[in-house]
Structure 1
Amino acid sequence: MGRRNRHNEPKSGGNRQAKIAARAAEREELSVDPRPFVGFAGECDMVAMREFVPSATGRLTTVADGRDVTIATVLPGAIAGLVRDEELGGEAFVGLQVQVHGPDVAADLAYAVEWATRAGHGETLSAAHPDASTPALGDVVVADAPLEIEVHNDFSWWVAESVEVRPEIEQAIRNANEVMMPSARVSAEGIEAAWWVDAGEKAHIRWVRPEDEEALFEALARVHSAGALDLGEGSRFAGSFRTHGLLVPVFDLDPEMHHQEWADGLKALDARLVEALANEAPLTSEERSSRDGLRARQVTLR
């Protein structure tokens, strides 16, 4: 019997299947709206809560019955949703920072909200699994309802008041608290989604802006070229990052100053940016140079 020619043997389909799966995942990601929360009154804050705010909650109102569902930065175990026992109020929660997620953040959230409206008391949802039958987020949640956010100093809100906490839950809360950096949302008229964080040696403000990315980037370049891209004394523009179709300028700050002391600086810079956004003239050579320098310091989260 002749020797088998190994070159003619069928190759394993593992690599081929993996490549097909990777291409399918890439196509699915490209088909997703880069701004998952566009059209929502709280878009910028929802992006902040999804990406970097440690502990905060808000209320979403469902379209079907006007029921409130609490949206949270993260739930215990980074699960997608939970409903408290009836004797503890029966409050429904959905999480944004989850352990398991798909390419479409809005679809994941829509699935979790729908689940929360149907789930029984005491149930949990480990992960969202949206499919073609999952409605759009705007069909599940009232888009133009203001998102009233409560910022928490720790994760004790994971447990309802007057509940005796089990040792393992108490330890989980303690662990979460230990890695949490103090954060706050700066409150100022006309300013949204400006989030302060104390990172130790420095403090920062990460400011999620709603404008078109390219238009805002040019406005930042114009203001930077004029030497006015800061929040006042004790602040410095550190760079920017892109996430969920939005641009987030970041500022290094004097850590000794209270977060609300930056409110006036935010309003002043906002006015300069609005003016720059309205400027339709081509960028000058100095402004183009500023733009190139700013772009070199830009990163993309997702």
Structure 2
Amino acid sequence: MGKASRRKGADKKTARAARVPFAPRPFEGLPGETGWVAMREILPAATARLTFSYDGGEHTARVATVLPLAWAGLHRTDGERFIATQSGAGSGDLSRDLAAALIATVDTEPGQPVVKTPPVTAETPRLQDLLTGDAPEIELHDGFDFWIEQDELDEATAASLEQANSAVTPTVPLPSVQSAYWCRIGERTYVRWVLPHDEDEATAALARLHAAGNDALMRGPREVSEERSGGELRGVSEAGRLLGAFRTCGLLVPVWEVDAAAEPASYDGGMGELSTRFTEALESVRSGDPLTDAERRARAGLVSRQITIR
């Protein structure tokens, strides 16, 4: 192949890629941005109700983490519409991909799935253009029973559903702060917190906490005291250790490993206290207070362990 032909092929690929502007923070500006990120990356089985405007009409739908066979959307025979955040679409703007799936559920006959996300362009609306109402209220599920209608549960469907349900990671919200979730992966347990702030500022605030020894996730005093017997703690660890953070959808998600023997709710009070400490550290960063040498080293350590998901 000659240089001209290769250049022509490269130009076509560039043109296709340029059709949709890249959105590093696709849910920015939406009410409940961190909830959208959580449903995209860290929640196994969850739904939330949406209201949206399209083609001069008002519509409702449910956003889900996953749909059968990784479908992008579904219009059930009972009229319920779904879109999935974890369908694998990738135009460069996840908000536009999900909006395209949402529109497709309106145009799809009841009882039919939206198997793949429709192609999008720079003219395709984004979720920010369609959604109405407040931040979606996320509902966690033990499994994927919300996929089906009761009269659809034949033997084959029941077997498939049972298999999917067995793979669900146990996940519990910590309601003292927004978008913080306890989860069990194998034999170990973690708390993951989706932060709504600028990545660099959030990383600096975490580094400031770490350098001061204030980044541990403590269990609430009430829960800890209930487990004491004769002044002893019976081998239960009171603090969760900050492992690091990952970056996704333009936001930072720090992760703590916590005691696998403790109840998830026992960390809720400590999560609230940690949130207060983090907010204070963030405010000091935003005020221009420079990082100390120890804080810069802590920041370098956090950054070196960061991974970016999608």
The reply to whether residue 201 of structure 1 matches residue 193 of structure 2 is: no
Q: For residue 228 of structure 1, what is the aligned residue in structure 2?
A: 214
TM-score for both structures, normalised by structure 2: 0.85
Q: Which residue of 1 aligns with 2:222?
A: none
- Separation in 1, partners of 2:5, 2:158: 45
* Corresponding position of 2:276: 271
Aligned with 1:67: secondary structure? strand
> Secondary structure at the residue paired with 2:217?
coil
Aligned residues between the structures: 285
CA distance in 2 between counterparts of 1:44 and 1:216 reads: 14
Check whether the contact 1:44–1:208 (CA below 8 A) recurs between aligned residues. Answer: yes
2:37 corresponds in structure 1 to 47
Bigger shift: residues 52-61 or 257-266: 257-266
1:44-193 aligned at under 5 Å gives the runs 44-64=34-54, 65-85=57-77, 89-129=78-118, 130-142=120-132, 145-161=134-150, 163-188=151-176, 191-193=177-179
Cα distance, 1:18–1:100 mapped onto 2, change above 3 Å:
farther
CA RMSD for the aligned pairs? Answer: 2.1
- Return the match for 1:291 from 276, 294, 299: 299
CA 1:197–1:102 in 2, change beyond 3 Å: closer, same or farther? Answer: same
Task: Show CA shifts across 1:50-93 (max 9, x none).
Answer: 112110000111134442210000000111111111xxx31111
Could you list the per-position Cα deviations for residues 12-33 of structure 1 after superposition, in whole angstroms to 9, with x for gaps in the alignment? Answer: 988656644654566567x322
| CA distance, structure 2, for counterparts of residue 239 and residue 213 of structure 1 | 13
With 272-281 and 163-172 compared, the bigger mean Cα shift is at: 163-172
Evaluate the alpha carbon distance shift between residue 139 and residue 231 of structure 1 in structure 2; reply closer, same or farther with a 3 A threshold: same
Structure 1 residues 132 and 219, CA gap change in structure 2 (3 angstroms): closer
* 1:212-231: CA deviation from partner (whole Å, max 9, x where unpaired): 00011110011010001121
Q: Is 1:187–1:260's contact at 8 Å kept on the other side of the alignment?
A: no
- Partner letter of residue 87 of structure 2? V
Distance in 1 between residues matched to 2:26 and 2:290, nearest whole Å? 31
**How far apart in 2 are the matches of 1:265 and 1:178?**
30
Give the deviation of 1:166 after TM superposition.
3.0
Q: Would you say the 8 A contact 2:19–2:121 is kept in 1?
A: no
Aligned counterparts of 1:112 and 1:141: Cα–Cα separation in 2? 13
Uncovered stretches (5+) of structure 2, i.e. residues with no partner: 219-237
1:288/1:133 Cα in 2 relative to 1: closer, same or farther (>3 Å)?
closer
Q: 1:106 to 1:197 in 2, by over 3 A?
A: same
Partners of 1:202 and 1:107 in 2: CA distance: 36
Specify the code of the residue in structure 2 equivalent to 1:105: L
Give the structure-1-normalised TM-score: 0.87
Amino acid at match of 2:52: T
Q: Match for 2:159: what amino acid?
A: Q
Using a 3 Å threshold, how does the CA distance of structure 1 residues 128 and 198 change in structure 2: closer, same or farther? same
Q: Counterpart of 2:289? A: 281
| Paired residues of 2:19 and 2:122 also in contact (CA < 8 A) | no
Structure 1: gaps spanning 5 or more residues:
1-9
